[in-house]
Amino acid sequence: MFRNLLLLILLCVFTGCGYNEFGELSAPARDDLPMNIELKELRAHYKGEPVTINAPLVIGGYVTANDRSDNFYRTIIIQDVDDVSEPTHGAVELRIGLYSLYHLFPEGRYVAVRAEGLTLSDYNGILQLGLEPAESGSTLPGYFGYRAVMDQYVVPGTSSCVVEPIVFEHVGNFSETMCGCLVRITSVRLAADTSVTWGIESGWNNKPQTAYRIFIDRSGTSFAVVTSGYADFAGETVPREEVSITGILSYGRTDTGREMYMIKMRDIRDVIR
Amino acid sequence: MKKTILLVFAVLAGQSLCGQNNEYDYYLKNDVVQQGFLFGLNSEPELFYFPPEGSADLFTRMSTYNFSAVRYARRGYDYFGDGAVLNGIDLSDELDGYPDYSLLSGLRRAKLPSIRLVGTDVADMGNSVLGETEEFVADATSFAPGHTVSVYGTNRRQRFGLKVSSAGTWARHWSYAVSGIRRWGRDATVQGVFTDETALSLMVSRSLGLNHRLTFYALGTANERGMRSSATREAFDLTGDIYYNPSWGYFDGEVRNSRVSKEFQPLFLASYNGKVRDKTELEVSAAYRFGKSGYSSLAWYDAQTPYPDYYRNMPSYADNPTAATLITELWERRDPVATQVNWTELCRMNAMSSDGSAYILEDRMEDIRRFQIVATARTRFDRRTEAVYGLRFKTSRTRFYKEMKDLLSGAPVSDIDCYLIDDEMFGDKLANDVRHPDRRIDVGDRFGYDYRMRSDRYEAFASLRYTDRRFRFAASVNASQSTLRRQGYYEKELFPGNRSFGNSKRLSFETYAVKVAAGYSFSPIHNINLSLQSGRTAPEYGNLFLSPNYTNETIAEPKTVGQTAADLDYVLTLNPMKCKIALFYARTTDATEVYRYYDDLFSVYSDMMLSDISKRYYGLEAALQYDLSSRLSLSAIASWGRYTYDSDPTVSIVEDASGEIRVTNAKSYLKGYRCSTSPGRAVSAELEYNAYGWIASLTYSYMADRYVSATPLRRMERAYNLAASPEGFTEFVSQERLEDASVVDLFLLRSFSVGRSRMTLLFSVNNLLNRKFIYGGYEQMRIMRRGSGTSQQWTPFDSKYLYGYGRSYYVSVSCKF
């Protein structure tokens, strides 16, 4: 009997291999898709109205803004850096149309885009790439909307570089060619006397609304900080003291109809006291 | 020499072990529903090729295996309609009410003798189930002495197996029966499915004089199994693969499954059996079972679902024709980036995350501690009359919790409710346990939920039998009192205080079952039997709590479930023919079911409680055995039945997060809908040749009248009134009938002597003709909205299905010496 027990033990010796172990992920098999045109040259292809790119352009840049705080909705912004990793004035918004993009496109991740067949347009000075507009007459490129579609054009890379903001002291130094870029303006104050929050969590129709908070720089020039009511920091109070603001630059019309430069923050950490 | 042969067997089998990870190899309520669903699909040929010894019921023997190609439960009773007993120990789970599949599987593989009782058969222990009860006997003296070594190969659920068993006597008065089984390998047909199992069964009996015996038994099965998930017809059609399994994907080129179950819950039993008086035998058994089981699942935090067949990922959802075409192409060419879990991308995203993994693999665990003691006395008053009576006590402590299985290349996560992250109302109440806030969860840590279910049950039973030459009478009664309570160890921020932490209300149920059976033999040829049953059983714990993972909240009016049943059968024994025809009827009433689901009309996670559920089961069973000659026999069974809902349950819907009652006293018009547990018509015929050490059989089985499991949601006015047309209405309320299924099975066995040993070669092929058919299906609790404003349309989600196995084989070589 004891010999048989030994045989039973033998059974246990031949344990199965790990059928479902994960372990460490190996290094990626492929290099990043190289660009054949710099992002800052993309603006030359836009002539004032939506245009379909017919050339096999491949652009690339590093993610500077995503939907992590829900201030950017279903889109990401990528910006190029030069050889010494200094930010350039090349940036574009990609109209992805999916949710929770910040996992796939964290800040700093390299993203390449096969632009052929895509529509290039502009909104508040920011270049946008996407599918053809969903409605006729619209200037907004359509969202990719589906992962399978996005994968045809957008190729997440393996390299990364945290893009530093271009620093300004005066609004007057902004230019429209910088729209879409990550900027920081220092020493600015809220123009309003009353206490306000960054966004409107519950507006006139009980729904979240976008708010435009006017700030002034030391020279007294105004600009707006635009925040969606859905942003996770929308309910936080705007500081009254002098701060620095980082975000994506654009130029457009506020809710009161004034045209001015606007900055959209990525999250509450973009306010530096 | 014998040892050498055995070692050769073991080594040859062991050679096949490694290499199973090769990606080129062919690559398994709603979880409770899925587990019950897969019960039959997991059945394996070796469990049923040697029918339990002592089972005289031909229908039982043939139906259990021959109809297992489709979802089958005898007489339509769901899987919790069955019971199992081991030396008087009730093996039913006190919380679910049904016997554990892997425990039953272990007992059958260990070849414990058993008998099967059907329906209203009067059992000595006074069992109260409607379905089959399998009574196992652990007694080492009942095993034929000798040693057996078996090696087998199959292409279904695993590849290879090795079994060693030995029985005999050892020293004076000691008998033993031991067996060890090792089986492993990947399924040859369904990718992601695998088995890795080791089971040991150790039994020792000690005779204490002529009439007394002590038995000690230990059964332990450690297993890990890759599971298969159901999918929509769209996914099967696009991939062109009826065995498409969305649960797996590639990780660095290797197949990895997100749904893996694992278990190690050994059972220890001690039994005393002896004659305590002239006419009275006493059996006292005590059993203790402990250990853990669990199954893995992907979870994600504020991220897109990783499951490839999520409805928004399918071409049918795309309203952009270009996108639909592109997605279709990806699915049709079976690009794993689209059709399977993309493990590599999940891991890369996690590695880039600065705030912990966005995607994790979690284990949903159950840690059981169960003790039971039963004392049964049997008194034979005379040669015609005997009584069996006894007492039983069962206590069970089951701890439920989640455990971090793998962070998938990411960093530890916060213990927060991932379903509330984007919730507008409760997005600031995320903590799963406010008593241990801000915990970061690493691999092996508990998180999510942690609670224990405590149940105790006191039972008394008695049965009386009278048998004379022509007349038989039996009656049994079983009465019990059981209590159930939840104890939460986490205080959930959403449900503060006693709503989640500490003890729930104590639920108490008094149940009973009364069975009466009488039979009369007109002659040795003609016999009739009539059995009646009435009683009430306790409901499953999952139907007593609205959301047991998170709250102590119970349903409003917990009730026991009523059961009545009747059997009338006629047995004809006229050599060379034996025939049995049985009419059966059963009805259950006052049942309650709780569904946890996402309500698309309210756009919130909700709990739906159905009460006053009644079901009716009636039909006919027939079995025939005809000896065509001394070597050739024909066996055939047939069943016809209708298994339907017999009431329109009352429905309440509660919003899960807020507890707000959204719907009360509504109706789900389920009356008349079919229970999907079993085909309404089933026939099987087997021709067997048995002579000169050969057994060969060819079996044809046909199963029809099969239906997809109906969801109560679609039979509510709030759902079907959304239909915009008569066709849309039909789409909501009609119950899909599945195609009829038929299989041909072949079985060959050759047994011969080699010296003093006995060799047995077995070869079987299931579904010889490789027929394709759906094993079973269920409707989803989701309704899809398309468009907006006046063009808005609502349609039910597609149902999900599992296909039955195609041609599969089983080969074994045994040596008994």
Asked if A4 is an interface residue toward chain B (Cβ–Cβ < 8 A), one would say: yes
**What pLDDT band is residue A112 in, cutting at 50, 70 and 90?**
very high
Where residue A227 sits, what CATH number does that domain have? 2.40.50
Instruction: Read off the amino acid at residue B577.
Output: M
Asked if residue A155 and residue A60 are part of one domain, the reply reads yes
Mean residue pLDDT of chain B comes to 89
Asked if residue A98 and residue A199 are part of one domain, the reply reads no
A173-194: per-residue pLDDT in tens?
A: 999 889 999 999 999 999 988 8
Q: Largest alpha-carbon pair distance within chain A?
A: 97
CB atoms within 10 A of CB A32: 15
Cα angle: B401, vertex B404, B408; to 5 degrees: 155
Q: Residue A16 domain-assigned?
A: no
Asked if residue A101 and residue A83 are part of one domain, the reply reads yes
Which among A8, A131, A148 is the nearest to B338, CB-wise?
A148
Last residue of a domain, one of A160, A181, A197: A160
CB atoms within 10 A of CB B653: 24
* CA-closest candidate to residue B624, choices B692, B578, B693, B556: B578
Asked if residue A224 and residue A138 are part of one domain, the reply reads no
Q: How far is CA A248 from CA A76, A166, A200, B207, B385, in A?
A: 11, 10, 20, 86, 92
Give CA–CA dist B754/B214, Å, rounded.
36
Q: What is the DSSP string of B744-767?
A: EEEEEEEEEEETTEEEEEEEEEES
Q: What is the DSSP string of A75-141?
A: -EEEEEE-TTS-EEEEEEEE----S-TTTTS-TTEEEEEE-TT-EEEEETTEEEEEBS-SSTT--SP
The answer, yes or no, to whether residue B424 has pLDDT greater than 60, is yes
The answer, yes or no, to whether residue A260 has pLDDT greater than 60, is yes
Last residue of a domain, one of A160, A175, A197: A160
Provide the pLDDT for residue B45: 40
Asked if residue A146 and residue A114 are part of one domain, the reply reads yes
Rg (CA), chain A: 24
Asked if residue A206 and residue A132 are part of one domain, the reply reads no
Mean pLDDT for A234-256 is 94
B729-743: per-residue pLDDT in tens?
A: 999 999 999 999 999
Which among B226, B320, B338 is the nearest to A20, CB-wise?
B226
**What pLDDT band is residue A12 in, cutting at 50, 70 and 90?**
low
Asked if A98 is an interface residue toward chain B (Cβ–Cβ < 8 A), one would say: yes
- Asked if A12's CB is within 8 angstroms of B180's CB, the reply is yes
Last residue of a domain, one of A138, A160, A182: A160
Give CA–CA dist B701/B679, Å, rounded.
12
Q: Residue A44 domain-assigned?
A: yes
CA-nearest residue of chain B to A158?
Answer: B348
Q: Residue A216 domain-assigned?
A: yes
Mean pLDDT for B49-68 is 67
CA-nearest residue of chain A to B147?
Answer: A4
- Asked if A26's CB is within 8 angstroms of B303's CB, the reply is no
CA-nearest residue of chain B to A100?
Answer: B303
CA A191 to chain B, closest CA, distance in angstroms equals 30
Chain B interface, best mutation among A103, A147, A233, by max B CB count within 10 A: A103
Chain A residues whose CB is inside 8 A of the B21 CB are 17-19
Q: Residue A31 domain-assigned?
A: no
Three-state DSSP class for B657?
Answer: coil
Which among A14, A99, A104 is the nearest to B182, CB-wise?
A14
Asked if residue A198 and residue A154 are part of one domain, the reply reads no
Express as a percent the part of chain B with pLDDT over 70: 92
Q: Residue A236 domain-assigned?
A: yes
Domain range for A219 is: 166-272
Mean pLDDT for B593-620 is 94
- Asked if B406's CB is within 8 angstroms of A19's CB, the reply is no
The answer, yes or no, to whether residue B5 has pLDDT greater than 80, is no
Mean pLDDT for B136-149 is 91
Number of domains in chain A: 2
Give CA–CA dist B407/B347, Å, rounded.
8
Q: Residue A187 domain-assigned?
A: yes
Give CA–CA dist A105/A102, Å, rounded.
5
The answer, yes or no, to whether residue B429 has pLDDT greater than 90, is no
Provide the pLDDT for residue B316: 93
Provide the pLDDT for residue B37: 44
Asked if residue A225 and residue A112 are part of one domain, the reply reads no
Asked if residue A156 and residue A175 are part of one domain, the reply reads no
Q: Residue A100 domain-assigned?
A: yes
- Asked if A25's CB is within 8 angstroms of B184's CB, the reply is no
Q: Residue A81 domain-assigned?
A: yes
- Asked if B182's CB is within 8 angstroms of A12's CB, the reply is yes
Provide the pLDDT for residue A186: 95
Asked if residue A217 and residue A138 are part of one domain, the reply reads no
Give CA–CA dist B332/A86, Å, rounded.
45
Asked if residue A150 and residue A47 are part of one domain, the reply reads yes
Asked if residue A134 and residue A176 are part of one domain, the reply reads no
